[in-house]
Structure 1
Amino acid sequence: MAGKNKKPWRFHSKKAVVITVCMVVILLLILVLVYDGGTMKPLKDDQGNAIASSISEKIFVEINGTRLGMFIRSTNKDNPVLLFMHGGPGMPEYFLEEKYPTGLDSVFTVCWLEQRGAGLSYYPGMPAEEITVDQLVSDGIAVSSYLCNRFGKEKIYLMGHSWGSLIGVKMAGKAPGLYNAYIGIAQISDQYQSEVLAFDYMLDTYRREGNTRMAEKLEMYSPYMSQKKFEHYFVSGFRDTVMHDLGVGTMHAMHSVFSGIFIPVMTSNAYTLKEKINIWKAKSFLAKSTSLRKEMFGSKLPEQIKVLEIPTYFLSGVYDYTVSAILAKQFLSGITAPIKGFYTFDNSAHSPLFEESEKFVNIMLEDVLTGENNLSDKE
């Protein structure tokens, strides 16, 4: 009979999947080899010439008994110094600065610190029990002192994003004399409550859209049913999948963690191949072997921090459900500070500094550097 020896359709389908996967792996290997560098590019002017007053370096500094890596960049090294505390736990963000330039380095001398156990600051065999919130706060304060001494500043500016905002706001409370101001982006307050609000919002959205398949999958991780399953919600990566699917994750327009995060890391010119691999090894290590995630969900910052002695600014995207903008605003309202301001970004989710960088930098120039809050949301 004609066609008797033809392979079943499912065989061809599986074969096509295998071929596709192999092609993706080969493409990734090519990209990694092409972009494997680990060196910093100098900052250049409009004519392509290196800016004489600029700084662009990757360095390692001994801090509190461990080796911490960081990137420092500025068009003018005499600019005010800004320490950036990244999110995660364990997700450095300098690669996003490469892909989505913020312009911060034209206003500040920016130090993109990679926290103990993360990225450049990871090494195999690290003692997991030594990596705690208190230790990261201590490290951040020590790095702040290093930056003051190196650049001849009495004080610097402190910026924390997401997870880094939990560390940053504690640093600001513990060592206010080191800082001109504290800037919290997607500021954490009560992260467990934030996750419950996000879960409710996403489940309701899928139901309203008639997407029963995703609604049913999400319901399996309900915080109202099983704490263990809710914890698996994070470990499995499903949380990131649904947040990015609905535009409430890293960026409102970023719908894929693979293309939005993984590829930019692997094609970064600032990291060597080994350092790129270490970013992912470190992220897994911090999530599975340390107490950081447990500490994050146990922290109820509005109960712990009532007063900050320095100007305090919170900036949130209206689409952010990774960290609740509503809870961040409530947190700020309960803080007594010399001056404070809350800023909503109408076209952003979790990362307004990368999503609406022009507005973000303007706030830094007009309000933060002048100690004002004229551009903040009106009550």
Structure 2
Amino acid sequence: MLLLFPFISKSQSGNDNTKQKIDTTEVAEINGIKQFISIKGNNSAQPILLLLHGGPGTSLAESAESFTDKLKDEFIVINWDQRQTGETAKLNAGNQPLSVDLMISDAEQIIQYILHQYNRQKLYLVSHSWGSVLGFDIARNHPELLYAYVGISPIVDEGKAEVLTLHMLKDWAKNTGDSTALNEINQINLPLETTKDLFTFQKWLFIKNDVEFARKDDFKTNYYNWMNIWFRLWKESVRVSMFDHSKTYDCPVYFIEGNADKYESHNLVKDYYDYFKAPQKDLYWMKKSGHTVFNTEPDKLQETIIKIKKKTM
């Protein structure tokens, strides 16, 4: 089943040079549920770029305008709200059991659907944070479908990242003299196997990074609501180290990583970049950014992705 909202003619394809603008949304029946995608571009002849949001459960569809204005000149930019996220969640009643395999299957079928709809052979795949769980798998198992895979703040070894980040949090609490923070942080057990440990870990990481909503009264309630849906999937997905999982890719692979906060965990991305082999690869550092590069350096992020396009088309 397919529901279409204001859309260009279906005659558009990869060989069409009419340069029509696209600004539409679609709801497609894929993998047993209704799935929402937003499609925007200023030239229908350009290649497709599919964004895999992170979280899990954190849609980028509404905020994408702030970091895709330049990309829309160079790509057809597609935002997909994953299962139980954003508009896709609203379209489907109830909370269905989640697994990494199911989410990967969704991603594979979304890609096949998009390529079929637009009569294309390949697309650009860009992920943020947790979206790399899906992105790495697609790049490894379906390189023939990708011009390139671009991981923004990818997760490469969450176990090691947790150790490094917890050490950093303890040093921060000691240096600031915050006894409440230090007491709570010292009670965190690694790996993060309980909702209590994950909540405490994330709360103090947010506060350390001056994220204001972490100090609000409803933060705990909202975070536990998120964990009620996503904790089991998150725990399953982040226990895989990419160092053990993927050493070789048969498509170009690029990383974009913010390191303004100087966290040691960023070095894991560099270590994995040095470790794997790919036909083309590069690592771009965003020196004014942390984890959410698209918020702090949207122009530079887009310029980097456009540079990658020029290398791979």
Instruction: Return the TM-score normalized by structure 2.
Output: 0.83
3-state SS, counterpart of residue 159 of structure 1: strand
Residue 57 of structure 2 is matched in structure 1 by 90
The letter for the 2-side match of 1:300 is: S
**Alignment length (residue pairs):** 292
Residue 49 of structure 1 is matched in structure 2 by none
Q: Among 146, 158, 166, which residue is 1:199 paired with?
A: 166
* CA root-mean-square deviation: 3.1
Deviations along 1:213-236, one digit per CA (max 9) or x if unpaired, are: 322222222428xx65x54132x3
- Contact between 1:206 and 1:215, CA under 8 Å: does it hold in 2? yes
Give 1:259 deviation, angstroms: 10
Distance 1:162 1:102, change over 3 A: farther
The letter for the 1-side match of 2:244 is: E
Q: Among 279, 287, 312, which residue is 2:230 paired with?
A: 287
Q: Among 187, 194, 197, which residue is 1:233 paired with?
A: 197
| 1:246 pairs with 2:208 | yes
Structure 1 distance, partners of 2:159, 2:235, is 10
Give 1:371 deviation, angstroms: 2.8
Deviations along 1:307-364, one digit per CA (max 9) or x if unpaired, are: 1101100111104699932111111211110011011111101111332122111112
Distance 1:74 1:259, change over 3 A: farther
| Aligned-residue identity in percent | 24
Q: Looking at both structures, which has the greater relative contact order when contacts are Cα pairs under 8 Å and sequence separation is at least 6?
A: 1
Distance 1:148 1:369, change over 3 A: farther
Distance 1:107 1:239, change over 3 A: farther
Deviations along 1:118-138, one digit per CA (max 9) or x if unpaired, are: 22222332431xx21112112
Residue 45 of structure 1 is matched in structure 2 by none
| 1:185 pairs with 2:152 | yes
- Contact between 1:199 and 1:222, CA under 8 Å: does it hold in 2? no
Instruction: Return the TM-score normalized by structure 1.
Output: 0.69
3-state SS, counterpart of residue 173 of structure 1: helix
The letter for the 1-side match of 2:259 is: V
Residue 38 of structure 2 is matched in structure 1 by 71
The letter for the 1-side match of 2:28 is: V
- Contact between 2:203 and 2:214, CA under 8 Å: does it hold in 1? no
The letter for the 2-side match of 1:353 is: F
- Contact between 2:27 and 2:35, CA under 8 Å: does it hold in 1? yes
3-state SS, counterpart of residue 27 of structure 2: strand
Q: Among 238, 243, 257, which residue is 1:316 paired with?
A: 257
The letter for the 1-side match of 2:303 is: N
How does 1:1-379 map onto structure 2 within 5 Å?
53-98=20-65, 103-122=70-89, 123-128=92-97, 131-223=98-190, 231-234=195-198, 236=199, 238-247=200-209, 255-257=211-213, 283-288=226-231, 291-319=232-260, 324-371=265-312
Which stretches in structure 2 are left out of the alignment for 5+ residues? 7-18
Give 1:113 deviation, angstroms: 0.8
- Contact between 2:67 and 2:299, CA under 8 Å: does it hold in 1? no
3-state SS, counterpart of residue 94 of structure 1: coil
The letter for the 2-side match of 1:367 is: I
Structure 2 distance, partners of 1:325, 1:167, is 20
Deviations along 1:135-180, one digit per CA (max 9) or x if unpaired, are: 2112111111121122222110001111101111101111111100
Residue 10 of structure 2 is matched in structure 1 by none
Give 1:85 deviation, angstroms: 0.6
- Contact between 1:186 and 1:323, CA under 8 Å: does it hold in 2? no
Give 1:297 deviation, angstroms: 2.8
Distance 1:294 1:259, change over 3 A: closer
Distance 1:258 1:244, change over 3 A: closer
The letter for the 1-side match of 2:93 is: P
3-state SS, counterpart of residue 95 of structure 1: coil
